[in-house]
Amino acid sequence: MSTITIFSGTFCKEDAVIQKVLDHTGYRLITDKDLVAEASRPSGMSEGKIMRAFSAKASVFNKFTHEKERSIAHIRYALAESLLSDNLIVAGFIGHLIPRKISHVLRICLIADMKSRISVAVKENGFTEKEAVRQIHRQDEDRSAWVNTITGISDPWDPSLYDMVIPTDKIDIGGVPSLVIEYLEKDILKATDESQELVQDFLLGASVAVALAKEGHDVDVSAKDGSVALTINKHVLMFSRLEDELKSIAHKVPGVKAVETKVGKDYYKADIYRKFDFETPSKVLLVDDEREFVQTLSERLLLRDMGSAMAYDGESALRLVKEDEPEVMILDLKMPGIDGIEVLRRVKETNPEIEVIILTGHGSEADRETCMKLGAFAYLQKPVNIDLLSDTLKKANEKIKQTKESRN
């Protein structure tokens, strides 16, 4: 039997259409939320972090942590496993992960003009027109970024991506199921031995991608009849060593018969391939109003494979904590506006799991006592020995790991 994917613009009557198709086909529904829950357990990441993979705005730490890429790898694997079953409706962003060469998939897009979408948002969801426009633009941006990431096409409504594009503002949605069933009866959408084998290839490639992601790697993976191709899209200083490591990991995945590596179209760009090291802190937020100092510190930490983001005042730091959840913060005390002690106090109230290292050139013994009572991990003085700071960061990271393990 065929699989149906439904991708929709916001306020395009998606829920009503899906329910009618479900009622007429008897298919089983799988949503983004379902697969995120499936992906969360083996990945070790929270559902909230994985769901962020669908957002246009990536974390400022992502180039060091590869959380978005790791999330997509685990979502893809959960989807590939689901496709072993028949009679599915795959609703949401996830449908775009299914390779186009798997032919027994009916790909549907639901869209409407802006006037209709605003009207639905106002009448059915209680938004003002201004709120509706803002919501539609923001969510369309997420859809555009996602489709571009997965397919290389920036227009999420591009007809070439779908078998059916349904304008829900121009047709009676009660007639959609009959249109869908008519398409499903076409021979091209019937499952064949060849298309089922392509699902197995999809699953094998997804399995290898997950195995690599668990070891901190981010490369493109494809599979065909047990042969796996790994494509490296960032420049590598020691290519042969990386090749050996990737092949070693891939060969251990059941079903893999052969592995080849190659470079992709972005290999010769300036970006450098970085393996994510789970033992090294890579979500470090540096907070200091001395811009030159904090930029230099960030560069010195990067040389030690520690990724960091920067904030130059307390207000910006608190905003980044809310949006991007750093794991360790290196915090100065004397800053204009909200000072370091107040930042420490607020962070420990809202995000007590974040370890805060105070690094200051102006603090007193009384400040030290206050900071440690508020929950600071360590209190260091400028100028600081970079090896001492690196060691302190690693100890903070180890404490975070132990805390997470104790909760599991």
CA gap 408, 400 in Å, rounded: 13
Task: Extract the tokens encoding 122.
Answer: 């106002």
CA gap 295, 298 in Å, rounded: 5
Phi, psi of 401 (to 5 degrees): -60, -45
| Predicted TM-score of the model (pTM) | 0.85
**310: nearest Cα among 291, 336, 282:** 291
Strand extents, DSSP E, 55-197:
88-91, 105-111, 164-167
Same topology between domain 3-192 and domain 284-407: yes
CA gap 179, 173 in Å, rounded: 10
CATH number attached to the domain at 284-407? 3.40.50.2300
**Domain boundaries, given as residue ranges, for the chain:** 3-192, 215-263, 284-407
Strand partners, 261: 230
pLDDT by residue for the chain (408 residues), tens only, comes to 689 999 999 999 999 999 999 999 999 999 999 999 999 989 989 999 999 999 998 888 888 888 999 999 999 999 999 999 989 999 999 999 999 999 999 999 999 999 999 999 999 889 999 999 999 999 999 999 999 999 999 999 999 999 999 999 999 999 999 999 998 888 888 889 999 999 999 999 999 999 999 999 999 999 999 999 999 988 887 889 999 999 999 999 999 999 999 988 877 666 666 777 777 777 899 999 999 999 999 999 988 888 899 999 999 999 999 988 899 999 999 998 999 999 999 999 999 999 999 999 888 899 999 999 999 999 999 999 999 999 999 999 999 888 877 776
Q: Which CATH class is domain 3-192?
A: alpha beta
Phi, psi of 19 (to 5 degrees): -65, -40
